[in-house]
Amino acid sequence: MKYEAVIGLEVHAQLLTDTKIFCNCSTKFGAAPNSHTCPICLGMPGVLPVLNKKVVEYAIKMGLATHCRINAQCSFARKNYFYPDLPKGYQISQYAEPLAEFGHVDIEINGEKKAIGITRIHMEEDAGKLLHDEHNPVSYVDLNRTGVPLIEIVSEPDMRSAEEAAAYLKRLHEILVYLEICDGNMEEGSFRCDANISLRPWGETAFGIRTELKNMNSFRNVQRALEYEIKRQQYILDDGGEVVQETRLWEDGQGVTHSMRSKEEAHDYRYFPDPDLVPIDIGRDWVDEVEKNLPELPLAKRERFMGEYQISAYDAGVLTVSRALADYFEEVAKRSGKPKIAANWVMGDILKFLNEEKKDIKDCPITPSALADLIGLIDKGTISGKMAKDVVEQMYQTGKAPTAIIEEKGMVQITDESTLSKIISEVIEANPEQVAQYRSGKEKVFGFFVGQIMKATQGKANPKIINDLLKKMLTKS
Amino acid sequence: MELNQLTIHELQNRLRAGEATALEIVQALFKRIETVESRLKAYISLMKEDAFEGAIRADEAIKKGDINPLTGIPIALKDIYCTKGVRTTCGSRILHNYIPPYNATVVEKLQQAGAIFTGKTNMDEFAMGSSTETSFFGATRNPWDPERIPGGSSGGSAVAVAADECIAALGSDTGGSIRQPAALCGVVGMKPTYGRVSRFGLIAFASSLDQIGPFTKDVEDCAIIMNCIAGYDPKESTSVPADVPDYRDFLSRDIKGWTIGVPKEYFIEGIDPEVEQAVRQAIKVVEGLGAKTRDVSLPRTKYCLAVYYIVAPAEASSNLARYDGIKYGYRTPDSLDLLDMYKKSRSDGFGAEVKRRIMLGTYALSSGYYDAYYKKASQVRALIKQDFDEVFRTCDIILTPTTPTPAFKLGEKTDDPLQMYLSDILTISANLAGIPGISVPCGFSGSGLPIGLQFLASHFEEGKLMQIASAYEKNANLEKRRPHL
Ligand SMILES: [Zn+2]
């Protein structure tokens, strides 16, 4: 039978605030265990939470960027369960009254646009981490991460393939990073994804029985896990079986999902409003203020680049992958006045250099203005495009300005016609055979002469002048 | 009169006049503690060394003229407040060895005001109880009759004040835990408005009901303590940023022309005739001071107990989840795995009443029951508050008995939780509505047990409570008695 997959994603994103959501401890990753803790995030008896307003601001940003309604009032609830990494025995989250609802994110698959609904975005605190001793039956608790602010972004079950899910996830990631509210690091867990997936026969509208997938810590794994799970469920259904509602873990090494806990074992979280926190009123003024300071988002930027700089959809996509890269390109384009050429340089040489060293555009040794200068020098004919390839490499290695490199290496292009005429006549004289061939109509040998001239000038001859002069001189006598 | 028998304001006068030293006060107190404590068990932990050091420092400060509102005044703290470096048990085995790394806001405030701490007083385990019998450290006894309970949950604080084992004390009131023991021990006890005093560092029982307040020997002392502890705390999200008046200003004002509401629902069947008589007598006293009394109705009173016993256990079931044996407190010495460790640590660490309430609360919040119990209770709670708002539109104060009966005997109600819960029936509504209340002594029963009178006021009207309680206290002409020990 033919099936349709129904997929919804729950994404947890750590927010880049300096301090935790309910206390003043640092949120920095990688500190010595339990060094970023205080009585509040340790869940000591008698402590009380005080909300970090920055968390609300960041969450509003994400809500606006995904076209959500920002609720005028939202509140916190307690999610109760026992685990050693949860010092209070409950997580402060949002339940009945989330911060934002009813949004959407647009994705594009093979040129087809599709809107994926956002059910809700809410704020919550992260839990700590358990470290298991490899040799002894002992576990340690590190509570540095406890209380680091998270937003949970819950999608509608709108995705119909693993590919769509991956596209949606990438889009969310891109938006969070653009907003500079999350570093998006999946390996360190600052961007995490769980998936709900079920199958139903084609044409059916009711949902099938779903499983929840966890432990997929890269975009690739999300796609692989979903693809695997689609096949697994399909196999069960084709066999006349029934999918078991359960939580399954993705095992990266084996490329399979394993059952983690059944529906019966699922927690009853006993949500109720947290009496230690008062409801948050989010006035229109606050939302307007945040909206005013919202940066241009990737999709808008892409469309603007295509219109304003006349570059292709593909190029615009590459150049807007991060806000820093887009800013870099845009500055080169503006300073040089040659956006298309700027795009080629940035996407070509610059990204190649950076990728080789796994560096970020922010660490690029070539400033946008230096690259714009280089483009200007080619345009003026000071150097050839070919020479520029060498110059840009030097610029990347030394960080020097293009003019300095050109001067140092004596790389200035020869444009003086009398100098070039002299060299051309020398070449013509030295190769009578080829001259005869050319004159008898074999125009292909023209390239041979250009090569010889370039060789004689170590590539510095201006190709356009050579072209004109050579033609004239070959036909002349 | 011994120094430990005096009030804060009397001691302040003596200290300022150089007629007594803080050291003499502390010495007198600990002498008294040595004499009576073995019979009363008001304290879980004494802070004798701290108290003597504090007294010496206070005397030095007084000599220099550096006198703060509570300089040299010994105060007892219910063992529910976190005290940095001093064991804080909440009356429970599960915290029998817990030493907090920080001070509760009220502890900081009292310290800044110059107070000396005498110790941590006994209480029902996690403040769950009305008799101070559920403490892991044993029951506290009523100084007026050691065969009887002192009330609870702040029974230790009430007894410490009543038996002159401290000058004043702090308690916490979730359903009457200050006012009820104050009434049964013959002292003044106030529960302020929810949000008036910071709960930061108060070990939570039911967060939306808990409030901190003083036990004192008279209303003036109550005002002095309230002046020190009331006010907004940026560390506490539900504390209210409202101005705090000088409560002493209210003590000398009269109550002429006030309207006092007397709710018919508070003179219920089962109320002790001697209690009713003492309260009716008190009504005459306030009428004699120029106040009008009128019968009013709080129609949802009958739901208070049911609402309370859903909301409070529900919150408690979550608040007490942190006692899991992982980070601090009691952990079972032998367990098979994590789940086993949780089960054993919590089974052994908590007493029967606490476990009963955790189960009640867990049930009330569980999937499928939330709407019928917790949600419904929250809705009714809003209606109970409306009842009070309605009455306070026309009345300045509501007057009721504090408890239906004087102190009952130890063990009398321990096997019957419902009977025990009924002893809070007149105090619970104030917590549900978030309004302030005060209990002041209004006489004795035939067998010599104290009886309490409760005044309730609208939100943030603690001043009015001081005003009427002080006027009543001055004009009631009650017989001055001390417990014989
Ligand atoms: Zn912290």
Q: Which of A266, A286, A306 is the last residue of a domain?
A: A286
**Would you call B317 and A270 a contact, using CB atoms and an 8 Å cutoff?**
yes
On the question of pLDDT at B101 being above 60, the answer is yes
- Return the structure tokens found at A29: 């990753």
Return the closest-CA partner of residue B129 out of B318, B350, B400, B375: B350
Q: Is residue B10 part of a domain?
A: yes
Instruction: Give the CATH number for residue B203.
Output: 3.90.1300.10
- Is the four-CA dihedral B141, B143, B149, B151 of positive or negative sign? negative
Residues 6+ apart with CB under 8 A from A183: A14, A16, A177, A190, A191
Per-residue pLDDT tens for B131-157?
Answer: 999 999 999 999 999 999 999 999 999
- Shortest Cα distance from B152 to chain A (angstroms)? 20
Per-residue pLDDT tens for A50-91?
Answer: 999 999 999 999 999 999 999 999 999 999 999 999 999 999
State mean pLDDT over B104-127: 98
CB of A75 less than 8 A from some CB of B: no
Residues of chain A positioned with their CB less than 8 A from the CB of B95:
45
Amino acid occupying residue B235: K
Three-class SS state of B300: helix
Q: Are residues A234 and A357 in the same domain?
A: no
What pLDDT, on the 0 to 100 scale, is given for residue B92? 98
On the question of pLDDT at A293 being above 60, the answer is yes
Over the range B46-61, which residues count as b (16 or more CB within 10 Å of their CB) and which as e?
Answer: bbeebbbebbeebbeb
Q: Are residues A37 and A152 in the same domain?
A: yes
B78 labelled catalytic: yes
Where do we find the tokens 């927010």? A15
DSSP string computed for B420-457: HHHTTTTTHHHHHHT--EEEEEEEE-TTS-EEEEEEE-
Number of neighbouring beta carbons within 10 Å of residue A74: 21
Q: Are residues A327 and A273 in the same domain?
A: no
CA angle centred on B115, ends B111 and B117, rounded to 5°: 90
Over the range B318-348, which residues count as b (16 or more CB within 10 Å of their CB) and which as e?
Answer: bbbbbbbbbbbbbbbeeeeeeeebbebbbee
Q: Are residues A181 and A33 in the same domain?
A: yes
As a whole number of angstroms, the distance between CA B190 and CA B225 comes to 10
Q: Is residue B383 part of a domain?
A: no
Helix (H) or strand (E) holding A262: strand A256-262
As a whole number of angstroms, the distance between CA B474 and CA B325 comes to 51
Residues 6+ apart with CB under 8 A from A203: none
- Is the four-CA dihedral B68, B72, B75, B81 of positive or negative sign? positive
Q: Is residue B97 part of a domain?
A: yes
Distance A198 CA to ligand 1 centre (A): 40
State mean pLDDT over B352-372: 96
Per-residue pLDDT tens for A298-325?
Answer: 999 999 999 999 999 999 999 998 899 9
Task: Please name every residue paired with A308 in a beta bridge, in sequence order, or none if there are none.
Answer: none
Q: Is residue A345 part of a domain?
A: yes
Residues of chain A positioned with their CB less than 8 A from the CB of B327:
42-43, 87, 141
Residues of chain B positioned with their CB less than 8 A from the CB of A271:
365, 370
**Would you call B200 and A51 a contact, using CB atoms and an 8 Å cutoff?**
no
Amino acid occupying residue B7: T
Residues of chain A positioned with their CB less than 8 A from the CB of B200:
46-48
Return the closest-CA partner of residue A226 out of A246, A204, A211: A211
Per-residue pLDDT tens for B189-219?
Answer: 999 999 999 999 999 999 999 999 999 999 9
Give chain A's length: 477
Quote the number of domains for chain B. 1
**Would you call A51 and B237 a contact, using CB atoms and an 8 Å cutoff?**
yes
ipTM given for this complex: 0.96
Q: Are residues A40 and A170 in the same domain?
A: yes
Q: Is residue B435 part of a domain?
A: no
Per-residue pLDDT tens for A19-41?
Answer: 999 999 999 988 999 999 999 99
Is B169 exposed, middle or buried (CB count within 10 Å of its CB: 0-12, 13-18, 19+)? buried
Q: Which residue of A21, A40, A44 to mutate against B (max B Cβ within 10 Å)?
A: A44
Per-residue pLDDT tens for B262-286?
Answer: 999 999 778 999 999 999 999 999 9
Of B415 and B449, more confident: B449
Query: Of A48, A78, A82, which has the smallest distance from its Cβ to B235's Cβ?
Result: A48
Instruction: Give the CATH number for residue A459.
Output: 1.10.10.410
Q: Are residues A326 and A388 in the same domain?
A: yes
**Would you call B366 and A268 a contact, using CB atoms and an 8 Å cutoff?**
yes
Reported as half-sphere exposure (CB side, CA atoms, 13 A), residue A416 has a value of 6
What pLDDT, on the 0 to 100 scale, is given for residue B384? 98
Distance A283 CA to ligand 1 centre (A): 28
As a whole number of angstroms, the distance between CA A8 and CA B108 comes to 50
- Return the structure tokens found at B476: 């009631």
Establish, for the pair of chains A and B, how many residue pairs have beta carbons separated by less than 8 Å. Answer: 99
Residues 6+ apart with CB under 8 A from A462: A381, A384, A413, A414, A415, A420
CB-based contact A69:A179 (threshold 8 Å): no
CB of A48 less than 8 A from some CB of B: yes
Where do we find the tokens 């004494």? B46
CB of A84 less than 8 A from some CB of B: yes
Reported as half-sphere exposure (CB side, CA atoms, 13 A), residue B328 has a value of 20
As a whole number of angstroms, the distance between CA B330 and CA B349 comes to 6
Q: Is residue A384 part of a domain?
A: yes
Angle formed by the axes of helices A323-336 and A298-309, to 10°?
20
Residues of chain B positioned with their CB less than 8 A from the CB of A90:
318, 321
**Would you call A48 and B366 a contact, using CB atoms and an 8 Å cutoff?**
no
Q: Are residues A242 and A328 in the same domain?
A: no
Q: Is residue B216 part of a domain?
A: yes
CB-based contact B149:B85 (threshold 8 Å): no
Q: Are residues A351 and A454 in the same domain?
A: no
- Report the largest interatomic distance among the alpha carbons of chain A, rounded to a whole angstrom: 103
Q: Is residue B445 part of a domain?
A: no
Reported as half-sphere exposure (CB side, CA atoms, 13 A), residue B135 has a value of 34
- Return the structure tokens found at A318: 């590459």
**Would you call B82 and A44 a contact, using CB atoms and an 8 Å cutoff?**
yes
- Shortest Cα distance from A48 to chain B (angstroms)? 6
How many Å is the Cα radius of gyration of chain A?
31
CB-based contact A255:A224 (threshold 8 Å): yes
State mean pLDDT over B285-304: 96
CB-based contact B140:B171 (threshold 8 Å): no
Residue B459: pLDDT band with limits 50, 70, 90: very high
**Would you call B104 and A46 a contact, using CB atoms and an 8 Å cutoff?**
yes
Q: Which of A364, A384, A409 is the last residue of a domain?
A: A409
As a whole number of angstroms, the distance between CA B137 and CA B156 comes to 11
B366 labelled catalytic: no
Distance A31 CA to ligand 1 centre (A): 14
What pLDDT, on the 0 to 100 scale, is given for residue A477? 56
Per-residue pLDDT tens for B373-385?
Answer: 999 999 999 999 9
- Return the structure tokens found at A340: 């298309």
What pLDDT, on the 0 to 100 scale, is given for residue A456? 84
B177 labelled catalytic: yes
- Shortest Cα distance from A204 to chain B (angstroms)? 30
Distance A27 CA to ligand 1 centre (A): 9
Per-residue pLDDT tens for A226-251?
Answer: 999 999 999 999 999 999 999 999 99
Where do we find the tokens 């006293």? B285
Return the closest-CA partner of residue A56 out of A287, A276, A222: A287
Residues of chain A positioned with their CB less than 8 A from the CB of B343:
none
Q: Which of A229, A253, A286 is the last residue of a domain?
A: A286
Query: Of B100, B203, B324, which has the smallest distance from its Cβ to A82's Cβ?
Result: B324
Q: Is residue B115 part of a domain?
A: yes
Q: Are residues A341 and A267 in the same domain?
A: no
Residues of chain B positioned with their CB less than 8 A from the CB of A270:
317-318, 362, 365-367, 370
Peptide linkage before B153 cis (omega within 30 of 0): yes
Residues 6+ apart with CB under 8 A from B298: B263, B265, B266, B384, B387, B388, B391, B398, B429
Q: Are residues A302 and A208 in the same domain?
A: no
Q: Is residue A47 part of a domain?
A: yes
Query: Of A42, A46, A277, which has the smallest distance from its Cβ to B237's Cβ?
Result: A277
Chain B residue whose CA is closest to A38: B101
Q: What range does the domain containing B135 cover?
A: 3-253
Return the closest-CA partner of residue A49 out of A121, A120, A124: A124
State mean pLDDT over B80-98: 98
Distance B227 CA to ligand 1 centre (A): 31
Distance B356 CA to ligand 1 centre (A): 32
Q: Is residue A291 part of a domain?
A: no
Residue A412: pLDDT band with limits 50, 70, 90: confident
Q: Is residue B303 part of a domain?
A: no
Query: Of B199, B324, B374, which has the smallest distance from its Cβ to A89's Cβ?
Result: B324
CB of B328 less than 8 A from some CB of A: yes
Quote the number of domains for chain A. 3
CB of B335 less than 8 A from some CB of A: no
Three-class SS state of A130: strand
Angle formed by the axes of helices B462-475 and B273-288, to 10°?
100
Give chain B's length: 485
Q: Which of B92, B131, B153, B345 is the catalytic position?
A: B153
CB of A97 less than 8 A from some CB of B: no
- Which residues 254-283 of A are in CB contact (within 8 Å) with B? 268, 270-272, 275-278
Q: Are residues A152 and A199 in the same domain?
A: yes
Angle formed by the axes of helices A463-476 and A432-439, to 10°?
80
**Phi and psi dihedrals of A135, rounded to 5?**
-105, -25
Helix (H) or strand (E) holding B275: helix B273-288
Q: What range does the domain containing A396 cover?
A: 296-409
CB-based contact A127:A141 (threshold 8 Å): no
**Would you call A43 and B322 a contact, using CB atoms and an 8 Å cutoff?**
yes
CB-based contact A274:A77 (threshold 8 Å): yes
Residue A439: pLDDT band with limits 50, 70, 90: confident
Distance A346 CA to ligand 1 centre (A): 44
What pLDDT, on the 0 to 100 scale, is given for residue A353? 93
State mean pLDDT over B342-365: 97
CB of A96 less than 8 A from some CB of B: no
- Return the structure tokens found at A409: 């290496």
Q: Which of B177, B239, B345, B445 is the catalytic position?
A: B177
Q: Are residues A100 and A155 in the same domain?
A: yes
